[in-house]
């Protein structure tokens, strides 16, 4: 098997199980079965959903993957990161147990190697869902190898052993995703650094851990490794963590980072790195005009993604692309109307769940739409996202700045968790729910939640936006007491109180006096 693609370390029983599921060494590609209704290039989230959905609806499907079935999410993204994050949250709970009247004996330690082993075991247990075996049993022809377009209706797949399979298709879907791509940092080529693609191969906890970039990956891993026992230095060139998120949300997270011992270096410019004689790494930055240096044992570069377009010979298929990925219209068609794309290869929303729902649009548009009839639009999707720090930050729809830039006047409603009973009782009252509505109405334009389980809570607002339900109706829906989600209902109450104009208040006073006689 080509080691150019497969990098599952350590080679323990769990990674062997994973590999056997998602890229078995003894796999022999099937003989192509005539013209395929759909050829799917890439077996990450978008590709798997497309292939499974199309096959389930009767289409003849070929699925091509050059690396690991399951893509980034299963192998080097969502699944392993959340496994490690869970271990870190438990460690933080034990550390803070005294606050709740629970005495933990001195000397309790985190076994990093065992935490990582647990992650690898659970990842392997989940992997049958994305396995070659499962998709073959669906009736899909699975081809492991590198796919190259020969023309606009043929794809050649070169297997690990050099065997070439020629796939003819009526329609195709490019779902080849994206990969980590480090920015041009001076000196980076002289050191051995980590990205999300090899971070989860660690078996020893770095004593000093440097992280460049405080986006979702950088922030999640900064807090996680600090809680597991590393001394973490987080470098961000912007003025606050999570630069794409609400500054108020970032401020709450940053306060918790300080509590967890993360050294946050904001406004870190002119980053350079150099190798030390003992294999450690020296990071040079300028912060507010002052030169600073930090020495670390491991460095994670958590900025930069590159679309996986190389080697596909997209020109032969008439598909236009650039450094950001494949060009698509709102129906997810490429410049070749017979070829579609979904997921990270074409979307600004690089999330597993976004890829999933884009794949559903591709199935409809590629196989079941007739001309303009029955076609779905990607822009109609309401896509939430979450960053799994503690507390989590979740968002859906517009930010206030987005609305302002679009010339939309808004009202903003904020419910702080410090006024929500369950959050107080949980000791998780640092956070808030913020909803913006179209001015003078309860139409929800966007929302941000900062809470320990914000990723779960945001779905209520996503559902409301998708179904056209306004904030007042959320306020009218009974929520169990006490829950942190009650914060969302309280925003509905806030909106309802704005409806109490002087005239309506006088009317209510008249009705009250009529009924009680005073």
Q: Mind listing the pLDDT tens digit for each residue in 41-71?
A: 999 999 999 999 999 999 999 999 999 999 9
216 annotated as a binding-site residue? yes
The pLDDT value given to residue 484? 98
Is pLDDT at 165 greater than 80 in this prediction?
yes
Domains of the chain, start order: 21-69+131-180+306-380 (3.50.50.60), 81-118 (no CATH), 188-240+247-303 (3.50.50.60), 391-502 (3.30.390.30)
434 annotated as a binding-site residue? no
E strands, 381-466, are 384-387, 392-397, 410-416, 432-438, 444-451
pLDDT in tens, 128-144: 999 999 999 999 999 99
Tokens for 202, please give them. Answer: 């660690």
34 annotated as a binding-site residue? no
Q: Is the Cβ–Cβ distance between 124 and 68 less than 8 Å?
A: no
213 annotated as a binding-site residue? yes
The pLDDT value given to residue 128? 98
The pLDDT value given to residue 1? 34
- Give bridge partners of residue 166 from the DSSP assignment: 156
- Give bridge partners of residue 366 from the DSSP assignment: none
CA dihedral 462, 463, 469, 474 (to 10 degrees): -90
* Rounded Cα distance, 265 and 375, in Å: 48
162 annotated as a binding-site residue? no
217 annotated as a binding-site residue? yes
Residue 33: pLDDT band with limits 50, 70, 90: confident
Q: Quote the distance between the C-alpha of residue 341 and its chain's center.
A: 19
For the chain, give the number of residues: 518
pLDDT in tens, 237-278: 999 999 999 999 999 999 999 999 999 999 999 999 999 999
* Percent of the chain with pLDDT strictly greater than 90: 92
Is pLDDT at 502 greater than 80 in this prediction?
no
CA angle 354, 359, 365 (to 5 degrees): 130
Query: Sign of torsion, CA 460 463 469 470?
Result: positive
Is pLDDT at 107 greater than 80 in this prediction?
yes
214 annotated as a binding-site residue? yes
* Rounded Cα distance, 41 and 142, in Å: 10
Is pLDDT at 496 greater than 80 in this prediction?
yes
The set of residues, in sequence order, having a beta carbon less than 8 Å from that of 363 and lying 6+ positions away, is: 50, 53, 54, 57
* Rounded Cα distance, 493 and 147, in Å: 55
| DSSP-derived 3-state class of residue 95 | helix
Helices (H), 96-158: 112-126, 132-137
The pLDDT value given to residue 508? 59
The pLDDT value given to residue 504? 63
Closest CA to 167 of 147, 190, 185, 184: 147
Tokens for 419, please give them. Answer: 């006024």
Is pLDDT at 6 greater than 60 in this prediction?
no
> Which residue in the block uniquely carries the two structure tokens 């998120």?
245
Tokens for 58, please give them. Answer: 């009767």
Tokens for 49, please give them. Answer: 């959903």
**Average confidence (pLDDT) over 292-320:** 97
Tokens for 472, please give them. Answer: 């007042």
The pLDDT value given to residue 3? 40
Residue 515: pLDDT band with limits 50, 70, 90: confident
Is pLDDT at 7 greater than 90 in this prediction?
no
215 annotated as a binding-site residue? yes
Characterize the bridge pairing of strands 36-41 and 61-65. Answer: parallel
Is pLDDT at 435 greater than 50 in this prediction?
yes
218 annotated as a binding-site residue? yes
pLDDT in tens, 397-433: 999 999 999 999 999 999 999 999 999 999 999 999 9
Tokens for 90, please give them. Answer: 């438990």
The pLDDT value given to residue 400? 95
Q: Quote the distance between the C-alpha of residue 497 and its chain's center.
A: 36
236 annotated as a binding-site residue? yes
Q: What is the mean pLDDT of the chain?
A: 95
């Amino acid at each position: 098997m080509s080691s150019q693609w497969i990098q599952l370390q350590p080679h323990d029983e769990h990674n062997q199980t994973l590999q056997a599921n998602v890229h078995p060494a003894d796999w022999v590609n099937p003989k192509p079965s005539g013209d395929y209704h759909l050829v799917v290039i890439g077996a990450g989230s978008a590709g798997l959903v497309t292939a499974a959905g199309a096959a389930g609806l009767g289409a003849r499907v070929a699925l091509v993957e050059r690396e690991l079935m399951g893509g980034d999410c299963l192998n080097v993204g969502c699944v392993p990161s959340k496994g490690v994050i869970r271990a870190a949250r438990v460690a933080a709970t034990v550390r803070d147990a005294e606050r709740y009247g629970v005495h933990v004996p001195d000397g309790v330690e985190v076994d990093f190697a065992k935490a990582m082993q647990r992650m690898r075991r659970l990842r392997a247990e989940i992997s049958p869902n994305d396995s070659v075996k499962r998709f073959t049993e669906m009736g899909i022809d699975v081809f492991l190898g590198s796919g190259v377009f020969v023309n606009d209706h043929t794809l050649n797949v070169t297997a690990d052993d050099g065997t070439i399979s020629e796939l003819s298709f009526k329609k195709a879907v490019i779902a080849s995703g994206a990969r980590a791509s480090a920015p041009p940092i001076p000196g980076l080529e002289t050191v051995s650094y980590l990205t999300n693609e090899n971070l989860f191969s660690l078996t020893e906890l770095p004593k000093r851990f440097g992280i460049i970039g405080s986006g979702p990956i950088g922030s999640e891993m900064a807090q996680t490794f600090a809680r597991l026992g590393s001394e973490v230095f987080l470098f961000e060139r912007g003025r606050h963590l999570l630069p794409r998120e609400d500054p108020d949300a970032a401020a709450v997270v940053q306060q918790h980072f300080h509590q967890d011992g993360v050294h946050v270096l904001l406004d870190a410019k002119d980053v350079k790195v150099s190798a030390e004689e003992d294999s450690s790494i020296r990071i040079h930055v300028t912060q507010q005009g002052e030169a600073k240096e930090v020495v670390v044992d491991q460095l994670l570069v958590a900025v930069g993604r590159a679309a996986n377009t190389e080697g596909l010979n997209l020109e032969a298929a008439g598909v236009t692309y650039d450094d950001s990925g494949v060009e698509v219209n709102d129906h997810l068609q490429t410049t070749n109307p017979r070829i579609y794309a979904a997921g990270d290869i074409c979307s600004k929303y690089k999330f597993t769940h976004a890829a999933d729902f884009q794949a559903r649009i591709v199935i409809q548009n590629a196989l079941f739409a007739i001309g303009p009839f029955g076609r779905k639009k990607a822009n109609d999707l309401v896509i939430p996202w979450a960053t799994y720090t503690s507390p989590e930050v979740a968002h859906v729809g517009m930010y206030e700045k987005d609305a302002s830039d679009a010339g939309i006047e808004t009202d903003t409603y904020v419910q702080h968790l410090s006024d929500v009973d369950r959050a107080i009782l949980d000791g998780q009252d640092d956070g808030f729910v913020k909803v913006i509505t179209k001015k003078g109405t309860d139409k929800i334009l966007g929302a941000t939640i900062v809470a320990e389980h914000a990723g779960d809570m945001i779905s209520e607002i996503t559902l409301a936006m998708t179904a056209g339900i306004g904030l007042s109706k959320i306020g009218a829906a009974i929520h169990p007491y006490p829950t942190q989600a009650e914060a969302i209902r309280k925003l509905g109450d806030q909106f309802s109180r704005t409806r109490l104009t002087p005239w309506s208040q006088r009317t209510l006073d008249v009705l009250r006096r009529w009924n009680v006689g005073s």
